[in-house]
A and B are shown apart, each in its own frame.
Chain A
Amino acid sequence: MNELIFHQLSKHYGKRCLFTELTLPLIAGQCLLLTGKNGAGKSTLMRILAGLDKPDQGEIQADGKRYSWRAYRPQLQRQILYLHQQPYLFEGSVWDNLAYALTRGLPRSEQHQQIEAIADWAGLTALLMNPAKRLSGGEAQRLAMARALLRKPRALLLDEPTANMDQAARLLTLEMLEDLKRQGLRLMVASHDPDWFQAVTNQHLAL
Chain B
Amino acid sequence: METISSATWQALQLLLSGDTALWEIILISFRVSILAILLATPPALLMAFMLAFGQFPGRRLLIAIVNTALAIPAVVIGLTLYLLLSRSGPLGEWRLLFTQTAMVLGQIALAFPLLVAMAHTALQAADRRAWETARMLGASRLRAVWTLMYEVRFGLMSALLASFGRIIAEVGASMMLGGNILHYTRNIPTAIALETSKGEFAQGIALGLVLLLLAFALNLLLHYFQGKGQIAA
Contact = CB atoms under 8 A, between A and B. Distances in A.
A87 B151 CA distance: 15
Interface string A70-98: 00000001100110101110110000000
B52 to A, nearest CB: 17
Q: Is the interface of A mostly helix, strand, loop or mixed?
A: loop
A28 interface: no
A24 B7 CA distance: 82
Contact of A50 (B127, B136, B138, B147): B136
A151 B232 contact: no
B129 A101 contact: no
A87 B130 CA distance: 9
Interface residues of B, number: 15
A84 B137 contact: no
B89 to A, nearest CB: 48
Contact of A148 (B127, B130, B136, B151): B136
A38 interface: no
Contacts of A101: 137-138
Given A88-B127, A91-B150, A52 B139 contact: no
A81 to B, nearest CB: 5
Interface of B: 127, 129-130, 132-139, 147, 150-151, 232
B139 to A, nearest CB: 7
Q: Is the interface of B mostly helix, strand, loop or mixed?
A: helix
A148 B129 contact: no
29 contacts: A50-B136, A52-B132, A52-B136, A77-B135, A77-B136, A81-B136, A82-B132, A84-B129, A84-B133, A86-B129, A88-B129, A88-B130, A88-B132, A88-B133, A90-B133, A90-B134, A91-B150, A91-B151, A91-B232, A100-B134, A100-B137, A100-B139, A100-B147, A101-B137, A133-B232, A148-B137, A151-B136, A151-B137, A151-B138
Contacts of A7: none
Of residues B130, B137, B147, B232, which shows the largest number of chain A Cβ atoms within 10 Å of its Cβ? B137
Contact of B151 (A50, A82, A90): A90
A103 interface: yes
A43 to B, nearest CB: 12
A86 B133 CA distance: 12
